Structure 1
Amino acid sequence: MSILDETYTLSHGVQIPKLGLGTWFIDDNQAADAVRAAVEVGYRNIDTAQAYGNERGVGEGVSTAAVPRDELFVSTKLAAEIKNYDQAVAAIDGSLATLGLDHIDLMLIHSPQPWDDFRGGDYAQGNREAWRALEDAHQAGKIRSIGVSNFQQHDLDNILQSAHVRPHVNQLLVHAGNTPTDLLAYCESNHILVEAYSPIAHGAILQNTEIQAMAKTYGVSVPQLCIRYTLQLGAVSLPKTANPAHMRSNAAVDFEISSDDMNVLRNLRGVDYGEHSAFPVYSGT
């Protein structure tokens, strides 16, 4: 069985495919083609966000794909700047309209802080209000699953203290060289599935000689090794690409990394994101 056929089961019983297509940096006018190509390859998990500016294209790709809508798992994210209930309600309905879908399979709060104050001020109340809007949309059947992204333990504790629905997912920067072991364990203890975005470190890890040597011993590429690593951590893996050949290669991960090599990858440090360090999630803050 291909990894594309495998799923995790979220805490409320909804199944989510283990491997998904990330769409960050895929232009809106290219997103529909990318989604259709991914579905043709066998992907059933498509991830976007309001901040990506490509929800319209992703929705078009979903609506015109070669499989029925109910076979696809579509995720999007509430813009990080939205920290009150009314704005969150409007934004949820806005995503549904922009995607052109009657429901969303998973919607996340994109960040506990606005991007221009990432890991900065106190937005605890705003996050609770945004969460309440997601809960209400979930209750109304607009969203099948709800969660968060880039949330640390104290951010999750803030949600959990008043939540009627516990987060089903926490989407995090997870890759060899950035493995937040304690946070992963905390999420697991609270039945929150982790999704790993940028499993190839936004390309920064491709030139790592230690990773290159390990990949060679398994007869796989560096991206394949890195994707497999996040899957063996128990996370959903969300590599981003618009290239069908890369989509196929990213899904060819039917090998097993040894426990010793998993420990090496888990303890790897010091990835240089280069020019991408300008983005808050790669800034190290």
Structure 2
Amino acid sequence: MTTSESSSVPAAASGVPAVPLNSGGSIPQVGLGTWPLDDGEVERAVIEAAGIGYRHVDTAAKYGNETGVGRGVAGSGVAREEWFVTTKLDGQFQGDDKAIAGLDESLRKLGLEYVDLLLIHWPLPARDQFVSTWETFIRLREQGKARAIGVSNFKPAHLDRLIAETGVAPAVNQIELSPAIQRREQRAYDAEHGIVTESWSPIGGGSGDLLSAPVLAELAEKHGRTPGQIVLRWHVQNGLVAIPKSKSPERMAQNLAIFDFELDSDDLAALDTLDQGPDAGVDSDRSGH
């Protein structure tokens, strides 16, 4: 997505643009990441975030904070239908329809009747259970327990198998992504198959000290923004969904205040120089997360 195209993305009721999903509906382009907050921290963070304008929150069974996320949603004063809630099921829920009980438990902890997006947390290809797990996810969507289904940390080879063997492409692929880890081939694959690319660690988490890069200091001064806001604006203008994590109300507000300026082509080219290449970041084939 180019700079000019980004302005055509529809805005949700909260004012945050929303990206359409291939299965219907849409996902707010910026959400609240919740790892590694505990239940108490995340409950407070979700309530604070709601007051700032967030309507999208991302959690996972493995994070151990779904109960707190649910309490935050319930205590936010925002109607359930205005929230976009994502959770993820990890390896213990792969194969043999284990995802059915897994999602039921997540819904119990969240205090919800459905999630807006359910993701397979990792492909774990050595187990060779992600296709059968995806078939279970399709049934969970048909039952209404998940409005949309997707994956996390999947590569094109994994996605090829899902699509070839089930005929259903994920709505979302959530991957580690930032100006330092740009994954251009993966993003192009996702776009070609109608899959929204969502960024975890969007401001650089595990990719070194991204925010201290001189080019970001220069662009922050040019636009009167913080380096983090420049990075998040890069995600928006590339058509990505970003889920920065913070429990600081000030930082949460900064992360959402990125829709009233644009990076120009020179800015985007300068940010491209930060890319560490295709081998940077987490390798989903080897991870047991």
TM, length-normalised to structure 1:
0.88
- Structure 1 counterpart of 2:126, one-letter code: D
- Structure 2 counterpart of 1:183, one-letter code: Q
Equivalent pairs counted in the alignment come to 269
The CA deviation at 1:166 is 1.9
- Structure 2 counterpart of 1:14, one-letter code: G
The CA deviation at 1:82 is 3.0
The CA deviation at 1:165 is 3.0
The CA deviation at 1:12 is 2.1
Q: Report Cα offsets for 1:46-82 as digits up to 9, x if no partner.
A: 1111111100100111112111000000000011343
Within 2, Cα distance between the matches of 1:70 and 1:101? Answer: 11
Partner-residue secondary structure (3-state), 2:85:
strand
Within 2, Cα distance between the matches of 1:24 and 1:110? Answer: 13
Q: Report Cα offsets for 1:209-233 as digits up to 9, x if no partner.
A: 2222222212110110010101111
* 2:171 is the alignment partner of 1:168: yes
Match of residue 254 from structure 2: 249
Q: Are the equivalent residues in 2 in contact too, given 1:4–1:19 (CA < 8 A)?
A: no
TM, length-normalised to structure 2:
0.87
Q: In the TM superposition, what are the counterparts of 1:167-246 in structure 2 within 5 Å?
A: 167-202=170-205, 204-246=209-251
* 2:68 is the alignment partner of 1:57: yes
Within 2, Cα distance between the matches of 1:129 and 1:247? Answer: 38
- Structure 1 counterpart of 2:101, one-letter code: A
* 2:62 is the alignment partner of 1:47: no
Within 2, Cα distance between the matches of 1:27 and 1:8? Answer: 29
Match of residue 94 from structure 1: 105
Q: Are the equivalent residues in 2 in contact too, given 1:47–1:74 (CA < 8 A)?
A: yes
Match of residue 268 from structure 2: 262
The CA deviation at 1:280 is 6.4
Within 1, Cα distance between the matches of 2:213 and 2:92? Answer: 35
Within 2, Cα distance between the matches of 1:6 and 1:83? Answer: 33
Q: Are the equivalent residues in 2 in contact too, given 1:31–1:54 (CA < 8 A)?
A: yes
Q: 1 or 2 for the larger relative contact order (CA 8 Å, sep ≥6)?
A: 2
- Structure 1 counterpart of 2:137, one-letter code: L
* 2:151 is the alignment partner of 1:148: yes
Q: Report Cα offsets for 1:72-108 as digits up to 9, x if no partner.
A: 0000001134321322221111111111100100010
Q: Report Cα offsets for 1:174-204 as digits up to 9, x if no partner.
A: 1011100111011001000011111111273
Q: Are the equivalent residues in 2 in contact too, given 1:21–1:43 (CA < 8 A)?
A: yes
Q: Report Cα offsets for 1:234-268 as digits up to 9, x if no partner.
A: 01111100111111111111211112221232342
Partner-residue secondary structure (3-state), 1:104:
coil
Q: Are the equivalent residues in 2 in contact too, given 1:135–1:164 (CA < 8 A)?
A: no
Within 1, Cα distance between the matches of 2:155 and 2:49? Answer: 31
Within 2, Cα distance between the matches of 1:53 and 1:248? Answer: 25
Match of residue 116 from structure 1: none
Q: Report Cα offsets for 1:130-170 as digits up to 9, x if no partner.
A: 11111111000000000001111001111111224320000
Partner-residue secondary structure (3-state), 1:206:
helix
Q: Are the equivalent residues in 1 in contact too, given 2:177–2:202 (CA < 8 A)?
A: yes
Partner-residue secondary structure (3-state), 1:264:
helix
Within 1, Cα distance between the matches of 2:251 and 2:118? Answer: 26
Q: Are the equivalent residues in 2 in contact too, given 1:4–1:18 (CA < 8 A)?
A: no
Match of residue 122 from structure 1: 126
- Structure 1 counterpart of 2:243, one-letter code: L
For structure 2, the 5+ residue unaligned runs are 1-10
Q: Are the equivalent residues in 2 in contact too, given 1:4–1:43 (CA < 8 A)?
A: no
